């Protein structure tokens, strides 16, 4: 365990250093290439996003696609690990069927959707300055379907560990649900990716909360001895920390949509992997993800209200934009969300640690 922990720390430090060194020249490249943020003028329903455009017009032109460097950092670390394994310096690379196949597939496949969306945003293509909701949904359906199929058919997982604490209630926490498993996980993956993407709307909002969630999930991942998966998670956390240096308000660079899709794919695969390894992760995860659930629920209700009643339920959605519209400063909104996220993750950590006792 000590050796594994040492390797994980070294990988994390390497990823952090690479990120801190590469971001300044990368941001300069984005500026020179005029890869600036285009503020969307229409909502997903096709209506004019007047309020949103007014609140965020000052951010137009700020370099975006900052998350593309995530792809570079993770890929470089995978290559380094492969070379080290090839020469016998370490025993395992970062590619492992039981631990990281699905994590990497979720990371790269969902991230591809975000990459295309970022390019379309920069070029100003599409009615919403990016991929249409229909195109994004089609891509997510394809990749989420494959991930659900893999866990169910290839890894033989058809159960959910739903009890929050491993205490002797005389009730088996494992619930075998058969064919319902791929159905539930399919909608889980799509909802999770969308929730992260929707929450990513203010400087430093989503990545801060995602960092806290990944740190929380790192604990059961390491305790369950999924050391290779833990290493990959630490690399992602280190990449996020490096990005923080340049995204604090006022942001010098934006993530773009690709990061939300990348991390959404990886996070959903990580939760399903922990469930597969017997960790009662479902309820703790729902608790720590509550802020994102509020965000996606507010957007869903807004769209539903427009479709059914032909009018808005809220002045603007999701919830963080509503708070901003009601007069709360952007930095204050972000601070309050971080505070709530910290409390939720503390509760989840307590539950997860209690399981390991």
Q: What is the pLDDT of residues 142-179, one digit of tens each?
A: 999 999 999 999 889 998 887 765 554 445 567 788 89
**What is the structure's pLDDT at 327?**
85
**What is the structure's pLDDT at 199?**
87
**What is the structure's pLDDT at 53?**
46
Annotated domain spans of the chain: 38-63+94-226+243-356
pLDDT band at 258 (very low <50, low <70, confident <90, very high): confident
- Residue 96, pLDDT > 80, answer yes
- Residue 351, pLDDT > 70, answer yes
Average of per-residue pLDDT values in the chain: 84
Mean pLDDT of 55-70: 66
Both tokens of residue 32? 């020179």
**What is the structure's pLDDT at 342?**
95
The residue with greater pLDDT, 12 or 50, is 12
Spatial separation of the C-alpha atoms in residues 206 and 218, rounded to whole Å: 18
Helix 101-123 to helix 227-247 angle (10° resolution) is 20
Short-list 48, 73, 68, 75, CA closest to 119: 68
pLDDT, one tens digit per residue, over 10-38 is 999 999 999 999 998 998 888 887 775 55
**What is the structure's pLDDT at 116?**
83
Mean pLDDT of 280-297: 92
Both tokens of residue 97? 């069927």
pLDDT band at 245 (very low <50, low <70, confident <90, very high): confident
Spatial separation of the C-alpha atoms in residues 135 and 139, rounded to whole Å: 6
**What is the structure's pLDDT at 170?**
46
Mean pLDDT of 262-289: 92
**What is the structure's pLDDT at 357?**
62
**What is the structure's pLDDT at 356?**
66
Q: How far is CA 43 from CA 71, 316, 341, in A?
A: 28, 10, 27
Q: Is the peptide bond before 318 cis (omega within 30 degrees of 0)?
A: yes
Spatial separation of the C-alpha atoms in residues 290 and 295, rounded to whole Å: 9
- Residue 44, pLDDT > 80, answer no
**What is the structure's pLDDT at 231?**
95
**What is the structure's pLDDT at 126?**
58
pLDDT band at 259 (very low <50, low <70, confident <90, very high): confident
The residue with greater pLDDT, 258 or 139, is 139
Q: Rounded to an integer, what is the distance from CA 50 to the centroid of its chain? A: 28
The residue with greater pLDDT, 143 or 310, is 143
Short-list 75, 11, 64, CA closest to 36: 64
């Amino acid at each position: 365990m000590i050796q594994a922990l040492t390797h994980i720390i070294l990988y994390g430090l390497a990823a952090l250093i690479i990120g801190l060194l590469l971001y300044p020249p990368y941001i300069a490249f984005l500026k020179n290439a005029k890869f600036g943020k285009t503020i969307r003028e229409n909502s997903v329903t096709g209506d004019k996003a007047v309020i949103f455009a007014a609140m965020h017009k000052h951010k137009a032109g700020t370099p975006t696609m900052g998350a593309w460097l995530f792809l570079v950092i993770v890929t470089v670390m995978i290559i380094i690990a492969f070379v080290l394994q090839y020469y016998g310096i370490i025993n395992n690379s970062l590619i492992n069927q039981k631990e990281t196949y699905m994590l990497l597939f979720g990371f790269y496949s969902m991230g591809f959707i975000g990459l295309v969306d970022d390019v379309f945003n920069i070029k100003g293509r599409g009615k919403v300055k990016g991929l249409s909701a229909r195109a994004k949904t089609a891509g997510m359906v394809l990749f989420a379907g494959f991930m659900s199929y893999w866990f169910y058919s290839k890894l033989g997982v058809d159960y959910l560990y739903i009890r929050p604490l491993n205490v002797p209630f005389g009730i088996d926490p494992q619930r075998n649900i058969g064919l319902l498993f791929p159905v539930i996980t399919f909608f889980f993956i799509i909802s999770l990716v969308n929730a992260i993407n929707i929450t990513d709307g203010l400087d430093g909002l989503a990545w801060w909360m995602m960092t806290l969630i990944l740190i929380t999930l790192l604990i059961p991942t390491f305790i369950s001895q999924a050391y290779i998966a833990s290493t990959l998670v630490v690399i992602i956390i280190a990449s996020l920390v490096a990005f923080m240096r340049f995204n604090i308000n006022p942001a010098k660079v934006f993530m773009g949509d690709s990061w939300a899709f990348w991390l959404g794919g990886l996070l959903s695969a990580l939760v399903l992997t922990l469930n597969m390894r017997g960790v009662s992760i479902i309820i703790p995860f729902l608790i720590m993800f509550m802020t994102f659930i509020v965000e996606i629920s507010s957007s869903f209700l807004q769209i539903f209200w427009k479709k059914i009643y032909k009018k808005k339920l809220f002045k603007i959605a999701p919830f963080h934009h509503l708070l901003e519209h009601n007069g709360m400063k952007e930095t204050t909104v972000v601070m309050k969300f971080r505070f709530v996220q910290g409390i939720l993750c503390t509760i989840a950590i307590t539950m997860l640690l209690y399981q390991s006792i």
